[in-house]
Amino acid sequence: MQTGTIARVLIDKGFGFIRDDAGVEHFFHRSAVKNAVFALLREGQRVEFTTEESDKGPRAGEVRLVE
């Protein structure tokens, strides 16, 4: 799993972006969040995540908050 921080989260739209430790942004959908409530996510929170390639670029598959 990779680690990074939540760069942007659009609660009303159901998705956001994670910036990994190398500076690359990954899209994530609320369904990818595994150990937290999507509506409570905030920018700057540390996460770990799996990556997948999509036709629009890097995508986070499973997102977990790092305690």
Q: How many structural domains comprise the chain?
A: 1
Scan for tokens 């990779």, then name that residue: 2
Residue 19: give its domain's CATH number.
2.40.50.140
Residue 67 has pLDDT above 80, yes or no: no
Q: Is 38 helix (H, G, I), strand (E, B) or coil?
A: helix
CB 66 within 8 A of CB 49: no
Mean pLDDT of 54-65: 91
* Sequence-ordered list of residues with C-beta below 8 angstroms from that of 41, at least 6 positions apart, any chain: 6, 9, 11, 16, 33, 65
Residue 56 has pLDDT above 90, yes or no: no
CB 35 within 8 A of CB 65: yes
Q: Which domain holds residue 60?
A: 2-65
pLDDT in tens, 26-51: 999 999 999 999 999 999 999 999 99
